Structure formats: C-alpha cells, structure tokens
Structure 1
C-alpha cells in the first residue's frame, strides 16, 4: 500500500474513533490496545489533525 494511501486510511480510522467514542479516555485506551506491540511508522509528513488542533487552540486563546 503506498504511504500516502496508508496515511489517509489512518486519518479516516482516527476520525471514526473520535466520532464513535466520544470519551477521550476510552478512545485513548482503544488506540493503546490496538497499537500495543505494533510498529509505529513515521512518514515524515505534517499531521493535518495536529495543525488543525493547534489552529483551533490559537483561535480559542484569542477569544478570552
């Protein structure tokens, strides 16, 4: 599977988990169980989700 397709698949799975398991602790526990003993591969690309979270945090900090 090409790396770009794999990254897109991971993004979709994470979005699904966020929408399905609204409790962040439960979601973290599930991801921990799924990745335990696995190999995490760094692709060297920028994280779209991280960039969006940082942009939201900056926008929210300006509102106070």
Structure 2
C-alpha cells in the first residue's frame, strides 16, 4: 500500500518542478490532508493463497 501511495503522490503532487524545500513541504502536506480526507481504499485483486500460487518464488510454502 505504501508503494501505491508514493506512486499517487508522484503523479498528483510531484509531477512538476518545485523550487524550494519549504514549498515542497507545504505541497506534500496539502496533498496528504486532501488524500486523507478523501479516505481512499485499496481493493485487493486476490487473496494471499492466490498470491502464493501466482507468485510462487516470492511466497515460499511453509513445510508443515
């Protein structure tokens, strides 16, 4: 989820030149407040078990 938010931040807030650090802080703070107020959600496309099947190398099975 963090990667999704960073991607949205980059597209919605940081896609232009920002002249100084203080302006950057204000812009990011304003974007964060608006994003939190919108209360966006993430809709997962598959469950952990499905991920284990599709992404076998990233989700090693537990030997029980």
- Give TM class, smaller chain: 0.3 to 0.5
Normalized against structure 2, the TM-score is what? Answer: 0.34
Q: Which has the larger radius of gyration?
A: 2
